[in-house]
Structure 1
Amino acid sequence: MTAPAFTVRAVDYEAGLPALRHVRETVFVQEQGVPLALEWDELDPLCHHVVAVDADGNPVGTGRLTPNHTIGRMAVLSDWRGRGVGDALLSALVDQARQRGWRELSLHAQVTALGFYARHGFLPVDERFVEAGIEHQSMRTLVDADNPVGSREAAVAAALGVIAGARRQLDLYSRDLDPGLFDVPEVVAAMRRLATSGAEIRILLQDPGEPRRKLAPLVNLGQRLPTAFAFRAIEEPTDRVYPSAYVVNDRGGFYFRPLGHRFEGETRLDAGGRARQLRNAFDPVWERARPCTELRALQI
């Protein structure tokens, strides 16, 4: 069944206020219990607003871009969630920032929505905090540029973004499946979704024995979905001295770490040239590596 159509458009604050009120007060005030006095602020008249409307012109989602280069008040009516409305709203706001020449955007994400913003290249910064009684996380992205990754939390978000952006193929080059990164439940779940969508996931390891000993979740997942996952072990001496690690997809997304035993690195979801470079480097090593039959035969 085809999902109901919707469109996203920019609206003037005064003219769009009834639509903004309908969505934001339904979601934030009625559903989440945010006090009405906190929902509307002095920035609203100064912001660039976008509204998603259904085929009949009824508002179903909103978002705003503030003069401070922040994205906020992202809201979608409950009946329309999971249909791509939020993705379209966020993309429209980032496009507006791009048209204005803004190179950095930030936002305060509800913790339950971290994965959603990670899919669009936003990375967590600083500590979590409570706003209007709800736990939040500051997130940031550089528009049309590589984003620095400096913490485990940012590494998880970077990996989620690259995995979610893959269409038919994902390549992972790792020393030992990186405990603390590729064993995080959210990352494993993203890998499962990609694998069950029919994509191919190739994983190159320098030390396949370590994830086998530690019963790494991706090994377990590969056991259950053997047509989607392929593991190979790097044995050529010239290949084994390679110090870096990365994950790259077939739609221009990558997360590269110069030192494979650390989380620090850089990521971007729309860097076709850099992604092709990494995939071209991956392919010959993959051909030289041996299949990890010990992982395929492992009983967990």
Structure 2
Amino acid sequence: MSDDFLLGGDLPVDRIGFGAMRLSANGFTGPARDPETGRAVLRRAVELGADHIDTAAFYVSDDRAVRANDLIREALHPYPAGLVIATKVGPARTPEGGVVQTVDPAALRPLIEENLETLGVDRLDLVYLRIGLMEPPHGESVAARFEALAAMREEGLIRHLGLSNVDSGHLAEARTIAPVAAVQNHFHAGKRDDARLLADCEEAGIAFVPFFPLGGGVSDLTGDRTAKVAERHGATVPQIALAWLLASSPVTLAIPGTGSLTHLEENMAARSITLTPEDLSDLT
């Protein structure tokens, strides 16, 4: 069952939030989706109790006509009290529509300023430094880039800092520079490679916020085992996958993303599911 988590020690959020990637396109790239539907999904997400929205300025359609940050501002600004908006910097769109990884620390300030402007805020609640796109680049230092973000945190532009697509070494390195409030990696019921990193976060009280919590179309959710538990609860496989994430650790937060009102309702209903020891055994 979903409950609150104190993000960064001072921001209470429901453990099921909302991921904004699929508002602009049906995936990381793709043709533009209907912006009015996107705004409707955002408003309904907040009505259903989502008080943690995860976004990025590089969540845009291929033609750049629809941008997730714009939709968030248009649908929800002025933002309701208690709404936490997290964003990421690191990847950036090229004029041709591709994606490049920012490695120059000085290049992060324009990305922070872009998020401040497009979201219509003076301070960002949570900013993740994302390194690499899908798999953590092991052995790559995050120090210089994290120091640049930490300096902007000291300026008051950022409230909390996070890391995305990292390993335990990256987390340890960053924590010598500034507090880490959250880690966001590819993790779900069918992909548990980062169990050690999750344990590190749990020990430190750091939020672990998986991206692609429902597989993201790139991996399954353990197939028959999840379906068996779903049938037992009269639930869907995605709902059980979300419930498993919440049961996997008290520090996990789920941010399922969708551009569909129907899928949104389904995802948010997962907060009422409590998995039994038998369920958890079946999902092991």
More strand by share: 1
TM-score (norm 1): 0.27
Bigger relative CO (Cα 8 Å, ≥ 6 apart): 2
